[in-house]
Amino acid sequence: MHSIYFDHSGTTPVHPAVAEEMYRYLTGDNFGNPSSVHNYGLQIRKKVTEAREKVAQAIGASAGEIVFTSGGTESDNMAIHGAAYTNKNRGNHIITSAVEHHAVLNTVKALGKDGFDITVLPVDQYGMVSVDDVAAAITDKTILITIMHANNEVGTIMPVAEIGKLARERKIIFHVDAVQSFGKIPVNVDELGVNLLSVSGHKIYGPKGIGALYIRKGTRWRQTLFHGGAQERLRRAGTENIPGIMGLARAIELAVENRETESARLKVLRDKLIKGLTGMEDVRLTGHPVKRLPNHASFLFKYIEGESMLLSLDMKGIAASTGSACTSGSLEPSHVLLAMGVRHEEAHGSLRITLGKDNTEDDVDYFLEAMKPIVEKLRDMSPLKD
Ligand code: PLP
């Protein structure tokens, strides 16, 4: 029986070197609390400092600008909530896009219920936000722009550096969700011109429940969510997740080391996959054909339910997804596809293949072979056809 994992945008397996590093901080004498003054604490504090430096270096930041969080969702919430409330006296307008992850979209919507004025920008057919639309939406009241670097459902890479330039000129805080892009394409906080940037461990062969938020020095941002101790220099209360932090730093180190070669390798597999599937009748690629993540291929199949494809693929030992991990399982069509102008009935036929470090060309060949009879059978059964 084959076992092929094609859902790396959903989550990734923990790299053995990451697990090894984490185990070190779950066993023996490495259990200290970094806030303690005795030697157990001091040893761990030193390690957390080293980990912070590694994370910072990977994105061109300095260590003092990194805060460890419980993952991408918390980083997004912390960034947006903190920026909004800290700058409320300057204005109440926030700009985002219609295709953001729910960690951003729902946070911004919640602010909308608390007196903030929200602009949700449309996207084009590829899921791309336009820099001109961002420029046109800015008002004297705009305090925050939050736009993702790469979309989790369709893989499209957004023009964040251009938006960052605009934000800097207008002195507006710019947050970027880089949860999907980090480790796959270059992420440098100065090149992107960001004030705040979110990353997550479990998308890059690190553990779940750990992430980081970059906060540019000088940014008018205060923590507004967690009340408690003085950890993370008053930016994130709560005793640090030491095994998680050590695992995240190791995962980031590996991601930086392998990014270029691995992305080039996956791009070849991705393109073979795209060519194979779009060669079939009534199948089209979603997301941008060129400006897309190197490991990401997403499609719309006419007359088929995405869920049925997933079940059929699962029976052949292939794990894929239809859009984001959070929206699958619900009957609602993807907000990303709808924003791209895909019709309701069509949006249900989506399939997302996201490649990772253990995938080979044989996997792609096996998948393409497996898909032919699946599509044929499902279409034969489909009440949607004719
Ligand atoms: N942002 C994006 C773009 C994501 O794809 C995800 C996860 O799917 C998140 C945020 C949430 O990250 P986490 O699962 O670490 O909370």
Confidence class of residue 125 from pLDDT cuts 50, 70 and 90? very high
> Residue 107 half-sphere exposure, CB side, CA atoms within 13 Å?
30
Give the pLDDT confidence of 335-346 residue by residue, as tens digits.
999 999 999 889
Shortest-distance Cα residue to atom 9 of ligand 1: 72
Q: Is beta strand 196-200 parallel, antiparallel or unpaired with respect to 173-177?
A: parallel
State yes or no: pLDDT of 329 exceeds 60. Answer: no
**Ligand 1 site, residue 100, Cβ cutoff 6 A:** no
Which residue intervals of the chain bear CATH 3.90.1150.10? 4-12+259-381
pLDDT tens per residue across span 21-71: 999 999 999 999 999 999 999 999 999 999 999 999 999 999 999 999 999
Q: What pLDDT does residue 383 have?
A: 78
Please give the distance, rounded to the nearest whole angstrom, from the Cα atom of residue 39 to the centre of ligand 1: 36
Question: Residue 226: pLDDT above 60?
Answer: yes
> What DSSP letter does each residue of 357-378 carry, written as one string?
TT--HHHHHHHHHHHHHHHHHH
Tell me the per-residue pLDDT of 200-223, one tens digit each, with 9 for 90 and over: 999 999 999 999 999 999 999 999
**Which pLDDT value is given to residue 386?**
65
Catalytic residue IDs: 326
CA 144/CA 156 separation, integer angstroms: 22
Confidence bin at 2 (pLDDT 50/70/90) = confident
At residue 328, the pLDDT reads: 47
- For the residues of 93-113, what is the DSSP string, one character each? EEEEETTS-HHHHHHHHHHHT
Q: What percent of the chain has pLDDT over 90?
A: 94
Report whether pLDDT(325) > 60: no
Average pLDDT, the chain: 96
CATH 3.40.640.10 residue ranges for the chain: 16-254
Q: Who has greater pLDDT, 332 or 47? A: 47
pLDDT of residue 166: 98
Residue 1 is predicted with a pLDDT of 75
Count of other CB atoms within 10 angstroms of residue 223: 21
Counting from 1 in the atom list of ligand 1, the atom nearest the Cα of 209 is 15
Sequence-ordered list of residues with C-beta below 8 angstroms from that of 115, at least 6 positions apart, any chain = 92
Which CATH number describes the domain made up of 4-12+259-381?
Answer: 3.90.1150.10
**pLDDT exceeds 50 at position 326:** no
Structure tokens belonging to residue 213: 């938020």
Say if ligand 1 is within 6 A of residue 177 CB.
yes
pLDDT higher than 60, residue 90: yes
* Beta carbons of 319 and 5 less than 8 angstroms apart: yes
Centre of ligand 1 to C-alpha 382, Å, is 33
Ligand 1 centroid vs 200 CA: distance in angstroms?
Answer: 7
**Residue 331's pLDDT band (cuts 50, 70, 90):** low
Q: Name the band, by pLDDT with cuts 50, 70 and 90, for residue 323.
A: low
Residue 324 has pLDDT above 80, yes or no: no
Question: CB of 200 closer than 6 A to ligand 1?
Answer: yes
Each residue's pLDDT tens digit, 148-159: 999 999 999 999
| Half-sphere exposure in the Cβ direction for 46 (13 Å, CA) | 7
All residues at 6 or more sequence positions from 349 whose CB lies less than 8 Å from its CB, including other chains: 300, 301, 302, 303, 304, 305, 306, 309
Contact (Cβ atoms closer than 8 angstroms) between residue 223 and residue 234: yes
* Residue 123 to residue 125: CA distance in whole angstroms: 7
**pLDDT band at residue 327 under the 50/70/90 scheme:** very low
Q: How far is the CA of 99 from the centre of ligand 1 (A)?
A: 13
Q: Which atom of ligand 1 is nearest to the CA of 100?
A: 3
CATH fold, domain 16-254, is: Aspartate Aminotransferase; domain 2 (3.40.640)
Q: Is 70 in the pocket of ligand 1 (CB under 6 A)?
A: no
- C-alpha to C-alpha distance for 153 and 172, rounded to whole angstroms: 28
